[in-house]
A = this chain, B = another copy of it.
Amino acid sequence: MNTSTYETLVSTWTRMHHFAHLQSIAGWDQAANMPPKGNEARAAALAEMAALLHRMRTDAQLPDQLARAEQEPLSDLQRANLREMWRQWRASNALPERLVQRQQLANSRCEHAWRTQRPANDWAGFLINFRPVLALAREEAALLSQDQGLSKYDAMMERFEPGMRCVQVDRVFGEVRQWLPGLIRQVTERQSREHVVTPKGPFALASQKQVCEQVMRLLGFDFEAGRLDVSTHPFCGGVPEDVRMTTRFRDDDFLGSLMGTVHETGHGRYEQNLPRDLLGQPVAEARSMALHESQSLSFEMQLGCHPGFAAQLAPLLEQAFGAQPALEPANLHRLMTRVKPGFIRVDADEVTYPAHVILRYEIERLLIEGEIEPEDVPALWDAKMMELLGVDTRGNYTNGPLQDVHWPEALFGYFPCYSLGAMYAAQWFATMRRAMPDLDARIARGELGAVFEWLRQNIWSQGSRWTTDELALHASGEVLNPAHFKAHLEARYLS
């Protein structure tokens, strides 16, 4: 029996999938379990695996095999898989192994020093390590840009959000810039007249974990194919067959870890419900980071901050922590939807959040395109924070440009995905509401099955079969339309 070239490629990607599985579990373990003295050996082991996978992805035989497979009789799904194989090959092959290694070193050094420089407000110290990180990222951007015929920042964004271009982001974020400051003023003015009761702790960590797991079950997370553990920086890792979510607990506040868990559960269910029979192939991977965030934000913002969901949470919280006025449904919902301009992106509510993203997008794009240098960042940061949120950040690097891990790790092009994801999430729920006019009543009754079924059919089970635009079109009848996001905010916060 002859093996087709396509089948040979499928085997190659299956092998890489197996190796990536070990990489992923060891990475999760590093964050969730590993004692400190294990770090050096683990870093060396993970770097070895990264090098092996890079070599496999840039194997000199691949372009020829991919081209020959294109001539074979394939189904549409197989062609989509081939398209994604090409995309992965192109992205890896554009970068010489030497650059990848230098980046790994520079980024890891910068990130490691950043952990102490951030609390020390040490911008000058940070710059020393950040300059080489940026220089290498610009080198990467130039190579990717040349290879793909894209602008430099577009080429960087392509790594996380294939098909998304600055021209579209500019249009979308430009619009948001118009109405956001006014909306924030209106909402905060309105909320200043509301009375909100603060929950009284301490909240036992074991009870918090129990509530988080109950809520994950409510949200359909499959504990036979995943776990919840604790790590300093919450994330959703592991593999689709075994999703490893993490959170962190503070005994004076339960809401942060609970809503964080709801957020990660959205990522987790996407992964758990990717097309099972194709796992290991690129076509079975999650489509993009904006779509991934559209799932976490569908869970956290659309569902989690829904007044009907607060009503379901309340009894669980009372059972875990005892009754108190702050835990009554209406107050709980007010707590979840409090809008307040602040310094920190990850603590921001869904109304002020886009301001944090727009600011970062505008700055990092200039950095990558060489229009500004790292020392120009603080002044720009201060000006934009004042303009967009009315917040004075001068001299506060800790809660200013040092707050995120993205720049030390050279994840340029990622930030826009958060807000694009919030917009997609609003678009999905607008679509569901058209099909199910009683959607809000269902959510209030705790009938979430229809929501999950819609997401499964339209997003999760589609993997990377379509481009993001095609997927949005199939799912909602239109490509990204930020009007739904504005409408969602107005409906929730102003009506």
Instruction: Report which A residues bind B (CB closer than 8 A).
Output: 15, 18-19, 21-23, 25-26, 29, 33-38, 40-42, 44-49, 222-227, 239, 241-242, 279
Given known A21-B42, A23-B22, A25-B25, contact A36–B241 (CB-CB < 8 A): no
Given known A22-B23, A49-B22, contact A241–B33 (CB-CB < 8 A): no
Whether A25 pairs with B29 at a CB distance below 8 angstroms is yes
Question: Which of B29, B33, B36, B227 contacts A35, CB < 8 Å?
Answer: B227
Q: How far is the CB of A330 from chain B (nearest CB, A)?
A: 37
Whether B222 pairs with A48 at a CB distance below 8 angstroms is no
Residues in B neighbouring A242, C-beta threshold 8 A: 34-35, 37-38, 41-42
Question: Which of B37, B44, B47 contacts A225, CB < 8 Å?
Answer: B37
Whether B29 pairs with A45 at a CB distance below 8 angstroms is no
Question: Which of B36, B42, B225 contacts A224, CB < 8 Å?
Answer: B36
Whether A48 pairs with B15 at a CB distance below 8 angstroms is yes
Q: How far is the CB of A144 from chain B (nearest CB, A)?
A: 28
CA distance A22 to B224 in the complex (A): 23
Whether B22 pairs with A26 at a CB distance below 8 angstroms is yes
Given known A19-B45, A19-B49, A242-B42, contact A224–B25 (CB-CB < 8 A): no
CA distance A36 to B222 in the complex (A): 11
Whether A241 pairs with B37 at a CB distance below 8 angstroms is yes
Closest 6 CB pairs of A and B: A38-B242, A18-B48, A37-B225, A21-B45, A41-B241, A18-B45
Q: How far is the CB of A56 from chain B (nearest CB, A)?
A: 11
Whether A226 pairs with B35 at a CB distance below 8 angstroms is yes
Residues in B neighbouring A226, C-beta threshold 8 A: 35
Q: How far is the CB of A277 from chain B (nearest CB, A)?
A: 13
Residues in B neighbouring A18, C-beta threshold 8 A: 44-45, 47-49
Residues in B neighbouring A36, C-beta threshold 8 A: 224
CA distance A25 to B28 in the complex (A): 11
Residues in B neighbouring A47, C-beta threshold 8 A: 18
CA distance A40 to B14 in the complex (A): 14
Whether A225 pairs with B19 at a CB distance below 8 angstroms is no
Question: Which of B15, B22, B222 contacts A37, CB < 8 Å?
Answer: B222
Question: Which of B22, B34, B222, B239 contacts A22, CB < 8 Å?
Answer: B22
